[in-house]
Amino acid sequence: MIPVKLELRNFLAYSSPEPLDFSGLHVACLVGSNGAGKSSLLDAITWAIWGKARTRRDDELIHLGESEMQVRLTFSFNDDMYRITRFRSKAGRGSSDLYLEILDDERWRNLTEPTIRGTQRKIDTILRLDYDTFINSAFLAQGRADEFTQKRPSERKDILAEILSLGTWSVYEERAKQAAKQIVTDIERTNAEIESIDAELQREAEYQRELNEKRRHLDDVSQELRAVEIAYHQLEALRREWSTQNAHLESIDRRIEDHEREVERLQTDRAKQAARLQTFEELSLQRETIEAGYSRLVHARQAEQSFSAGLLEYGSLRERIVELRQHVDAARSELESERRVLASRVTTLQEQVENAPTPEELDQVEAEIEDLAILESDLSEWQEANTRLDAEGSGLKQTNDTLFVEMNELKDQKTTLEAATEPHCPLCGQDLSPDHRQAVIDDLQQHGEAKRDTYLANKERIAAIQQERKELETAIREAQPEVKRLNPLRERRATLREQVANCREAQAQLEATAHDLAYLEETLAENHYALEQQAALSELYAQLEAIGYDESAHRSIRSEVEAYAEYERQKHELDRALEAIPELQAAVTRLDEQIHSAQQRLRAANQERAELIHKMAQLEEQLVDFETIEQRLNDLRDEEGNARYAVGAAEQKVNALDASRSRRAELVQRREGLAEEQGIYEDLRKAFGRNGVPAMIIETAIPEIESEANQILARMTDGRMNVRFETQREKVTGGIRETLDIQIADELGSRDYNTFSGGEAFRVNFAIRLALSRLLARRAGAQLRTLIIDEGFGTQDAQGRERLVQAINTVQNEFDLLLVITHIDELKDAFPARIEITKTPAGSIAEIV
């Protein structure tokens, strides 16, 4: 994997820098002051590829004051060009995105999977590297070059195991141990179940005796049940016969009720017919009186008809008079109603004119609205100014908060440097001379004073803003209550204008309405309405006088007609009675015969009912024990059911023993399998342990490391030096012990690592560390084409820095890209290219020089 281009947005110290193009670079150094963001570029590369950096949480990588970040890395791998874009936002609950593309015919083709996890798996598959392998192979961190060689021989294997990621085998060992422990638990549980089954099998004879007893009891109950069922069925037949007789009895009772109702109905009909016959016979005795009265009625009606002929013309005139009188009264009523409406309207209009507002009141409201409109405009300008000042003050306060934190950090760094007495930098661990320490302290002092000046200027401006805002807020508070009166005043003005307009209209309507009211009152006073109808009434009254109709005589003859009118009804009843008397006499005789026949049927039904009741009483004597027999039958049936259930339960116990025997055989077989499986996991635990597979891997890796280191040393020393690892050493007391000694051979012979000078030891350290990186990359199935060294030139003296540069130049041709991170200015020209990191208020920037 060779980085080609790195694009950052809001990542750590970087806000929106120009893309960093690595194409054309072979060996370059990253230079910049402490905290400028040199190591952040490595974090950006690892976060883009694996979503991991030195921090634990992604949100800690977002640039201060921002809510999202993005890193895009373009890199080449196996002659293909890839591009990874990773995005993170902490808005809401936080969200992330990951995109993978490949350059295909000069166009980017999407390789992104539906999920971030799927895309990450594809990236790992392509590179054949994970984050830890990359950090331990392609990246040489500060102080790690001599970590392996400086340790005691007994500790070197632990470091080698850590670099080779052999910690996984301890996880496997623990899993095998837990699996074996679980199997022991399963074996104990299986043994407990086998013991339980054995205890149950020992009770087989007891279960068989219980089954035989239950079966005998069931036979006894079944025999008694069959005998009781026979007796019950005999009584049940008698009960069915009794039910049949009872139904017949109910039928007879219904017939008796029908006969009784029939006799009662016939007797009622006879009484009605006899009463009518008696009434008609009594009426026939008054025949002469009724016929004489009816004759007087006929003569009176003839006289009344003569009077009615004159009354007809008289009534016609009266009807026309009433009709005309109604027309005249209706016309006057309509005029009276109209007069009342006009009078009410005049009163209303007079009140409206009297209550109308004056022009002076309207002018006063107009003037007050004009003054408040000016104040409203001023209030809007004050509020806008206050908002602008608030935003400016908040921005300055946020800037000062950042400056305050940065000044404290610079102060702490300066205090730490001033208090330090060791020749190492307490901030980065590098070696520092007194002059270099003072230069760093002066640089921190200058940075702190510049930030302090900016901080104080901002603080002064914040105080001025607070005073201006205080004055504006006072003016706003005083103006707001007045401006709130503006809308009600505008509504009041509209109301006044409407009332003035309505007053003018009401004055005009008042004059017209008063004139109409005076005219209407004059018309009513002179009866000047319905003139044609009043003239017709006068003529009709004259015609009524000319007829000469005697209303008194007419009333007298009418009274006579009314007095004799009853004889007409009596005459009709007399005629009907004389006709109906023979028919009623025959009907009474017929009803007497029907009553006699119905009474005979009623007596026969009562006789049949008495005989049936006697027969049912005999059956009831035989059924006296039916309920007892029925209860015993139900009890025996329940007892038989319980006995059958008990037999089933006993049979189930006996049958369950066969299943228990089968289960026991299965458990014994399972126990044997578990014991075998336990042995396998014990073997695996030993294989995964410290002296198992990890030891074999280390033994296999040591020759590879030795070979790689010697190849590098041969190029760095022109073949003068080589290294050898010894894994065993003879004890003084005899025997062999495990170790990991480093023996170095040169033209003077083979010696221990600790006897070599600093420069020679450094070459050995560098060769071994680079050999470890190659081994780790090769075991991951990847090629190590990029190397990043953050070895800390500041910890070396001039000669040591020169040796490190020489070592880097010696191996540079083995890598396509080799980056060296340093903050030592003297090394800027030691490499053919450099990437300068500069920290600015807007964020750090990286430039290739």
Tell me the residue ranges of DSSP E strands in 521-618: none
SS3 624: coil
pLDDT value of residue 829: 78
The token pair at 306 is 């003569």
Mean pLDDT of 100-104: 95
Mean pLDDT of 574-583: 83
Between 574 and 818, where is the model more confident? 818
pLDDT value of residue 725: 82
Q: For residue 556, what pLDDT band results from cuts at 50, 70 and 90?
A: confident
SS3 398: helix
Residue among 170, 88, 147 nearest 687 (CA): 170
**Residue 724 phi/psi, 5° resolution?**
-140, 135
Q: Is the pLDDT of residue 180 over 70?
A: yes
34-43, 417-426, 464-473, 681-690: the lowest-pLDDT one = 417-426
Residue among 3, 12, 1, 4 nearest 837 (CA): 12
Using one digit for the tens of pLDDT, what is the confidence trace for 764-774? 877 887 787 77
Highest mean pLDDT among 285-294, 669-678, 694-703, 775-784: 669-678
pLDDT value of residue 319: 79
Using one digit for the tens of pLDDT, what is the confidence trace for 111-150? 999 999 999 999 998 988 788 777 777 777 655 556 667 7
- Asked whether the beta carbons of 12 and 61 are under 8 A apart, the reply is yes
DSSP string, 803-828: HHHHHHHHHGGG-SEEEEEE--GGGG
Element of type H or E holding 107: strand 107-110
Alpha helices (H) along 9-105: 38-50
How far apart are alpha carbons 667 and 673 in whole angstroms? Answer: 10
Between 496 and 59, where is the model more confident? 59
Using one digit for the tens of pLDDT, what is the confidence trace for 359-403? 777 788 888 888 888 888 888 888 898 899 999 899 999 999 999
Percent of the chain past pLDDT 90, that is, above it, reads 14
- Asked whether the beta carbons of 710 and 704 are under 8 A apart, the reply is no
Mean pLDDT of 261-273: 88
How far apart are alpha carbons 540 and 327 in whole angstroms? Answer: 15
pLDDT value of residue 19: 92
Count the helices and strands in the chain (H runs, E runs): 17, 15
Radius of gyration of the chain from Cα atoms? 64
Backbone dihedral region for residue 672 (phi beyond 0: left; psi -120 to 50: alpha; all else: beta): alpha
Q: For residue 780, what pLDDT band results from cuts at 50, 70 and 90?
A: low
pLDDT value of residue 550: 65
How far apart are alpha carbons 212 and 205 in whole angstroms? Answer: 11
How far apart are alpha carbons 429 and 441 in whole angstroms? Answer: 16
Mean pLDDT of 668-680: 88
Using one digit for the tens of pLDDT, what is the confidence trace for 828-845? 778 889 899 998 888 899
How far apart are alpha carbons 264 and 267 in whole angstroms? Answer: 5
How far apart are alpha carbons 68 and 59 in whole angstroms? Answer: 8
From residue 610, alpha-carbon distances to 239, 251, 561, 598, 603 in Å are 20, 13, 69, 19, 11
Highest mean pLDDT among 431-445, 460-474, 623-637: 460-474
Residues 456, 457, 458, CA angle at the centre, nearest 5°?
Answer: 90
- Asked whether the beta carbons of 180 and 682 are under 8 A apart, the reply is yes
Using one digit for the tens of pLDDT, what is the confidence trace for 269-306? 888 888 888 888 787 788 788 878 878 878 877 776 77
**Residue 67 phi/psi, 5° resolution?**
-115, 0
Count the Cβ atoms, other than its own, within 10 Å of residue 792.
Answer: 23
Amino acid at 757: S
Residue among 90, 96, 75 nearest 7 (CA): 75
pLDDT value of residue 796: 55
Mean pLDDT of 736-760: 76
Q: Is the pLDDT of residue 202 over 70?
A: yes
Between 321 and 429, where is the model more confident? 321
DSSP string, 573-585: HHHHHHHHHHHHH
Backbone dihedral region for residue 735 (phi beyond 0: left; psi -120 to 50: alpha; all else: beta): left
Amino acid at 224: E
**Residue 366 phi/psi, 5° resolution?**
-60, -45
pLDDT value of residue 142: 57
How far apart are alpha carbons 498 and 511 in whole angstroms? Answer: 21
Residue among 816, 742, 824, 813 nearest 790 (CA): 824
pLDDT value of residue 281: 79
- Asked whether the beta carbons of 681 and 176 are under 8 A apart, the reply is yes
Residues 94, 398, 67, CA angle at the centre, nearest 5°?
Answer: 15
Backbone dihedral region for residue 79 (phi beyond 0: left; psi -120 to 50: alpha; all else: beta): left
The token pair at 760 is 């020679």
Q: Is the pLDDT of residue 316 over 60?
A: yes
How far apart are alpha carbons 788 and 807 in whole angstroms? Answer: 14
From residue 227, alpha-carbon distances to 232, 335, 516, 752, 771 in Å are 9, 112, 119, 113, 105
Mean pLDDT of 429-450: 80
Residue among 18, 151, 21 nearest 74 (CA): 21
From residue 507, alpha-carbon distances to 289, 352, 515, 517, 660 in Å are 88, 9, 13, 16, 117
Residues 758, 762, 763, CA angle at the centre, nearest 5°?
Answer: 125
Alpha helices (H) along 202-286: 204-284
How far apart are alpha carbons 559 and 609 in whole angstroms? Answer: 70
Amino acid at 131: Y
pLDDT value of residue 227: 85
Using one digit for the tens of pLDDT, what is the confidence trace for 626-673? 788 888 888 888 988 898 888 888 888 778 888 888 888 998 898 889
Using one digit for the tens of pLDDT, what is the confidence trace for 491-532? 888 887 787 777 778 788 878 888 888 888 888 888 887 888
The residues, any chain, with a CB within 8 Å of residue 806's CB and separated by 6 or more, are 716
Angle between helices 626-688 and 167-201 (to 10 degrees): 150
